[in-house]
Structure 1
C-alpha cells in the first residue's frame, strides 16, 4: 500500500520548536541571516526537554541557542543549532550533535561559513553557470536511507540539505529539500528563486551513496504540461509581461505540488500537481486559471511515467487520489506492456 505524505509548498514557513525562525533572503551574505531577538532556550534546556540522560562532553550546555532543529527518535537524538550571540543575526558555525541511544555515545560536528556549498540551478539558460549557494540558515532535521538530513532554510523557496552519516561525516549536499525516501534514493524538490513571477516545479532523485541525481519532473514529452503551455502561450499579455518584468515563458509556468504517495516495494511514486497561469497576465488567469493533474512514476527497471487529468481519474477509479495510483494492482494496469513512456 502507498504511504500518503503531505508536500512542502513554495510558501513553506520556517517554524521551529520554540519560536518563529526568520528566513534568509536568497544570495545575501550569511551574516545578514536574522535570528530571533529573544526568547531562545539554552542547550541544556532543550536536552532536558528531550529527556537526554546526560550532556555531551566538552560542550557548553549553558549557552543560548537559536534557529535550531531537533530530531528525537528511539535510537538517536540529533540537534543542529547556532549559538545566540545577543544580536539580530546568525553567525557561524552550525553546530550538530548526535546521541546514539543504543551505544550511549555522543558525536559532534561544526560547519563553518563556506564549508558546504551547492549549485543553485533555478532559472538558468542553457550553458549558464550555476550560482553557488552557501548552506547557512536556520536548521531542520530529518532522515532518509539511514542518513541524517540537515536542512538549512535560505528563503521560503530555497533550502540547502546537508547529508551526514551516523558519525556526522559529510556525505554530500544538494539545493532543495526532501519530499520522500524511496529505498536508497531521496526524492527532493529543487530550490527556486522566491521573488519571481512564476515558480516552476522541479523534482529529482538523489542516490546519496553515489551522488547521482535523476530528474523526475518535468519529464520529457509531457503531453498534459505541453497542452497547458500552448494555451498559456495563446493567452499571455505581452504588454502586461513587459510592465511587470515577467518573461511569460510557458516553459517556466508555475506548478504547485500537492499530495504525494509512495510505494517503496514497487519503487513507484504518485504526485498531485496544479498547473497555474499566474505570472502571465489577467487574461490568462481569468480565462485559463489552473488545472489539476496527477503523475505516476515507476523508477525501475527504467524510469517510466503516466499522466492523468483529475476528471480522467474520477472516471477510471471514482476518486482522484495519489494513494490509489500506487496500489500494486493499479500500477500493473497503468504500466501495462503497451505503455512505453
Structure 2
C-alpha cells in the first residue's frame, strides 16, 4: 500500500494503530465472537466502551471532578448550533463571528432569540481573530469558534464574558493545552482529533442547564441525554469505539501537553517554509495563524499546476483549500506526522527549481 501523506481537513487522519484495532473489532470485538458493528448498544461490553470514552474525554482536558458531563451524540457539530440556543437562550446570546462555521451557528441561534455579534473579522475576509473583546451587555451565553478550518485562524486566548462561555472546538480540541475549565460548554464534531465522522462530543457543566423555562424536545435536550447517559437513542457504536481507541492513543503519547509539542513543531516547520519562499503567501494574519489548518496561496496562478503535479508524485493528498476560498490548506491534526509535513515542505522547496 502506498504511503499517502494525508492532509485532509476532515474526516481527518487517525493513527495507524487505531485503524488496525478498529479493523480487528469489526471481525471480532474483544474476543466476544461478535463484530463491533453488531453488538447491542446496551450490552455490558459497549457500556464499558462508552463509560471509558466519556471518562477519558474529560481526563485528557483536566475536566474530571469539575462539574462537567461528557456526551457522545449524533448530528455533528452542526446539530449543536441549534441545540445550544434551545438549551441556553432566554433572551439574548452573544456570538463572535470568525468565519463560516460561526456564521452558521449564528443563523441557527437567531431562530431562538436575539443574537448580538460582539465581535467579527468579516471585514477582512475572516483572516484574523478580533482582539480586546469587551462585552458589557447582559447575555445568556457567549459563543466562539476556537479554530477556523477554512481560513486558518485560531484563538490564542479565551475571550472574557460575564455569561456562560460556549466554544465550538471541532478542529483543535485535544491538540493543545488551553484553559478548558473556563469554558462552560465545549462541543466538537469528532472527525478531526477525536475519531471518525458520525458522532459529536459535548462537554458541559450541568449547572448551566434548566434556565430557559421552555419545553425542549427530548432529542434537543442536553439534560435528557445526560439523564440517559448518552443513550437516549441508539448510539453510534462503532464511532464511539473508534473515538475511545484514539483517546487511548493520545493518552499513551503523553496526553495533550505532549501532542502539543509535536503539533508546534509541525506548524513551525511549514510556516517557516512558507515565509521563506517568495512565491508563497500565507493567508491568515501571522499572530492568529492556526496550528491545525495552514492556509496558503501561490503568487501566480500557473504555479498551482506545478504544485499539484509534485504533490501527486510525492503521494500528498487533500491539500486543496476549501471550495469557498480556494488556495491550499494543509491540516496538521494530531495523527499527521512530522515526516509527512517534511515531505510537503520538500515539495514546496522543489518548486524553486521548476517554476
TM-score, with length taken from structure 1? 0.25
Greater relative contact order: 1 or 2 (C-alpha under 8 angstroms, separation 6 or more)? Answer: 2
TM-score, with length taken from structure 2? 0.25
Task: Tell me which protein shows more strand as a share of its residues.
Answer: 1
